Amino acid sequence: MKRKFISIFTLFILVPIFSMNVFAAEESAQKQLVTIVAQAQPPTHIILDTDMSTDTDDLIAVRQCQQYAQEGLISFDALMLSDENTLYQGRTAAEGILDSYGFPNVIIGTSSNPNIETNLPYWGWLSSHKTTGHNCDTAVRQYRKLLSSGGTYGIIVIGYFDNIWNLIKSQPDDISNKTGMQLISEHVKFFDICGTGRGFKGENNQYTGFENNTCFYSSSYTASSQFYDCIGALNIPIYQYTSDDKYIAYKCSVGGKDQLSSGDVVYKAFNGADKYDGGAGWDAICTWLLLPIISNDFSSYGIVPEQYSVTSTWDSATRFKSVPDVNGNVTMLNMTWSGNTYRLYIDDSY
C-alpha cells in the first residue's frame, strides 16, 4: 500500500506561518502527518531508555512517546532508567510522569547504577504524582521479558548505554533460554540513538563530537563501545541524528513554556530544574525522529540518510571514529533544515 504524505510544498507553506499559539490548534501539519502514518500501519512497539534526571529534554522525550501513543503511531511499552539514586526516586518519578498522563501500564526498568547523577531537581516533584503501582524490575530483566514475549521493538536510547550493554551480555536465565544477543537479533526492529547531538563533519567527512552520554563517563564509554561493535554485527538498523550545524540541539531547545499549561506536571518540574525557558533538545530531537523512521520517509523532513561506520576507536579529537561507509553499521540522519524549523515540529509533537 502506497502511503500518502502532505507534500513538501505544503509543509514549506504551513510551517513558517505556525506561531506557537497556532500550533495548539487541533489539526497542525505535524499531527496530520502523524495521523497519516498511524493509519497506514499498526503501532510500532517502543522502549524508551533514558537518563531522566536533570535536563528538560528527557521529560519532553517521555511526553513525546505518550503523545505518539495517544495518536496511534506507537505502542509505548516500557520506560527504562539508566540512572538512579539510593532512594529510588528515579523509579517513582517515572511512575509519577506516566500516571499524570494516563499511562499506568507502561513498565519501568530500573538502573543498577545508583548515584550516576547527583543533581536531581525534579524527581521529588514527579514522585509525588505517583498514583498507581507500575510493573517495575531491573532494566535488563524488563528487556528480556519484553523481547522474549514475541513481537518486535524499536528502542530509543537517550540515556547512558549501561542497560543495553547489560542486555547484550546477558545469558540464559529464568526468563528465557536465549542470550541477550539472540533476543536482540530476533526481536529488535531498530535503534534510535541520541549519539551525535553536537556532531558535525570534520576532516575526511567524519562526524565528530559525539554527545555526552556516549563519551564522557567511563562506564558509559565502555558500554557504548560494545553497543557499536556488537549491534553493528547484527545488521539491525541504528539511526543517529546529526547536522552540519553542530549547535542544532540548542536551536531546538525545549521547555514546554508555550506548549504545556502552567499546571502541567512537566511544566512545574522544569521549575525545579530552573529551566522554564527550556534547555537543549538532544533527546527531544531523537524521539521526534520516530516519525520519519517509522514512515521511512526522510526527504519530507529535510533529512539525508548517510551510511557510516562507527567503531569504538576513541581519542580526544574525534571521540568515536565515524567514517563514511556504504556498508556502515549506522545510518546518520543529517538534518539539513534550520534548527528553528525543526523546533516547530518538535514543539508540536508533544
- Is 166 domain-assigned? yes
- For the ranges 38-42, 221-225, 345-349, which has the lowest average pLDDT? 221-225
Q: What integer pLDDT is reported at residue 23 of this predicted model? A: 38
Residue among 179, 337, 171, 310 nearest 240 (CA): 310
pLDDT at 68 over 70: yes
Where is pLDDT greater, at 223 or 40? 40
Transcribe 246-271 into DSSP letters. Answer: TTHHHHT-B--TTTS-TT-HHHHHHH
- Is 14 domain-assigned? no
3-state DSSP percent of the chain in helix, strand and coil, to 5: 40, 20, 40
Assess contact for 116 and 103: CB atoms under 8 A.
Answer: no
Helices (H), the chain: 8-17, 29-40, 56-70, 89-100, 123-127, 139-148, 162-168, 180-187, 212-215, 218-232, 248-251, 265-272, 282-288, 290-295, 339-348
What are the pLDDT digits (tens) for 211-234? 777 766 545 567 888 888 899 889
Q: What integer pLDDT is reported at residue 29 of this predicted model? A: 78
Residue 285 class from Cβ within 10 Å (0-12 exposed, 13-18 middle, 19+ buried)? buried
Where is pLDDT greater, at 48 or 232? 48
- Is 1 domain-assigned? no
- Is 341 domain-assigned? yes
- Is 5 domain-assigned? no
Q: What integer pLDDT is reported at residue 271 of this predicted model? A: 72
Question: In the block, which residue shows the cell 521547555?
Answer: 255
Q: 343: which 3 cell numbers?
A: 523546533
Highest average pLDDT, of 43-47, 211-215, 328-332, comes from 43-47
For the residues 108-125, what does the mean pLDDT come to? 74
- Is 175 domain-assigned? yes
Structural domains counted in the chain = 1
Angle between helices 89-100 and 56-70 (to 10 degrees): 40
What are the pLDDT digits (tens) for 170-184? 999 999 999 999 999
Q: Characterise 12 by phi-psi region: left (phi > 0), alpha (psi -120 to 50), beta (else).
A: alpha
pLDDT at 20 over 90: no
DSSP 191: E
**In the predicted model, what is the mean pLDDT of the chain?**
83
- For the ranges 60-69, 132-141, 235-244, 248-257, which has the lowest average pLDDT? 248-257
- Is 91 domain-assigned? yes
Q: What integer pLDDT is reported at residue 123 of this predicted model? A: 84
Q: Facing residues of 79 across strands?
A: 48, 108
Q: How confident is the model at residue 115 (pLDDT cuts 50, 70, 90)?
A: low
Assess contact for 103 and 46: CB atoms under 8 A.
Answer: no
- For the ranges 83-87, 133-137, 241-245, 315-319, which has the lowest average pLDDT? 315-319
| CB neighbours of residue 277 within 10 Å | 10
Residue among 209, 212, 165, 215 nearest 191 (CA): 165
Which range of residues forms the domain containing residue 127?
A: 28-348
State if pTM tops 0.95.
no
Where is pLDDT greater, at 93 or 125? 93
pLDDT at 21 over 70: no
Assess contact for 200 and 242: CB atoms under 8 A.
Answer: yes
- Is 90 domain-assigned? yes
Q: How confident is the model at residue 17 (pLDDT cuts 50, 70, 90)?
A: very low
What are the pLDDT digits (tens) for 135-159? 999 999 999 999 999 999 999 999 8
For the residues 124-133, what does the mean pLDDT come to? 89
Q: What is the CATH number of the domain that holds 175?
A: 3.90.245.10
